[in-house]
Homo-oligomer: A and B are copies of this chain.
Amino acid sequence: MPLYQYFNGEISPIDKALFQTNDLGLLRGYGLFDYFRTYNGVPFRWDDYWQRFENSAKRLKLPLSITQQETAKVLADLHALSEEPEVAFRFVLTGGYAADSVHVVKPNFLIRTEALPQDNPAGRLKGIKVLPYEYVRDLPEVKSTNYVHMVLMADQMKQQQAADLLFYKDGEVSELTRSNLFLIRDNVLITPDTNILHGVTRKVILELAQPFFEIQVRKVTYDELMNAEEVFTTSTTKWVMPIVQIGNHTVGNGQAGKKSLFLQDRFMDLVKTWGK
């Protein structure tokens, strides 16, 4: 699989060293990214991902030097070079090179072609364990590159056989390290609306659930989470992933919830025919 990357107008093999060492992404954590994949060879919900990427860039005041249409052509080129039926793309936009290590002059824009992630099919059927973690992401609506706590806690998660961290603060729950949170109680589907990144998969699930559930998009308390019948998380790589254990607390009967699996099926139906 010959993967390639795009960097400020040039395409090169994926392992080529590209970044000079005075990049503000590297020196100051001043960067943002986005991540999406193809189904049937077609980027999934590309307009939504691009819009979010543009929004992150705007909030970090980083001008884009390429249009959505030009970028789509780059994606097609990278995809063709990969010789793979399906790929994932990672956008990274940093503050660029700065002589004074403070002021943005010209952002650096990278697109990495990546192999499809391992999908954890067992987790999607049986559900996963997560650890509650007191934290709110800084500038949560920006898909910034700040994931220090996720990397820092990786060992402890492994020790506790947990797949992820679930963020809460001041009695409210928000999101997981890289995915959104949903609760089901009776026939009500609830998802937090503050201190979160607006996930594209979250948006799709809200659309798919519309005919079947009462939907509440609002603040969610930790107590509600503890009393939910079903809990699941959504992301580009996780789809609809049931959560059956939160620290020492077992959700429902400890098995993947039926309504969660129903929504998972709806999502899989959608992506099976995406682009066809």
Beyond A29-B147, A30-B148, A146-B29, whether A21 also contacts B18 by CB under 8 A is: yes
Q: Do B17 and A147 have beta carbons less than 8 Å apart?
A: no
Q: Which of B14, B26, B101, B104 contacts A26 (CB 8 A)?
A: B26
Q: Mark A14-27, 1 if CB is under 8 A from B, else 0.
A: 11111111111111
Q: Do A92 and B27 have beta carbons less than 8 Å apart?
A: yes
Q: Taking each of A15, A28, A33, A150, which has the highest tally of chain B beta carbons within 10 Å of its own beta carbon?
A: A28
Q: Which of A110-125 contact B (CB under 8 A)?
A: 110, 112
Q: Taking each of A7, A14, A20, A149, which has the highest tally of chain B beta carbons within 10 Å of its own beta carbon?
A: A20
* Interface assignment of A138: CB less than 8 Å from any CB of chain B: yes
Question: How many residues of chain A are within 8 Å of chain B by beta carbon?
Answer: 46
Q: How far is the CA of A152 from the CA of B94 in the complex (A)?
A: 12
* Interface assignment of A102: CB less than 8 Å from any CB of chain B: yes
* Interface assignment of A31: CB less than 8 Å from any CB of chain B: yes
Beyond A148-B138, A150-B102, whether A21 also contacts B30 by CB under 8 A is: no
Q: Do B17 and A19 have beta carbons less than 8 Å apart?
A: yes
* Interface assignment of A263: CB less than 8 Å from any CB of chain B: no
Q: Which of B15, B29, B103, B149 contacts A145 (CB 8 A)?
A: B29
Beyond A21-B5, A154-B103, whether A26 also contacts B94 by CB under 8 A is: yes
* Chain B residues whose CB sits within 8 angstroms of the CB of A29 once the complex forms: 29, 31, 144-148
Would you mind naming 10 contact pairs between A and B with Cβ atoms under 8 Å apart?
A5-B21, A7-B21, A17-B19, A19-B26, A27-B92, A29-B144, A60-B148, A61-B152, A102-B150, A104-B151
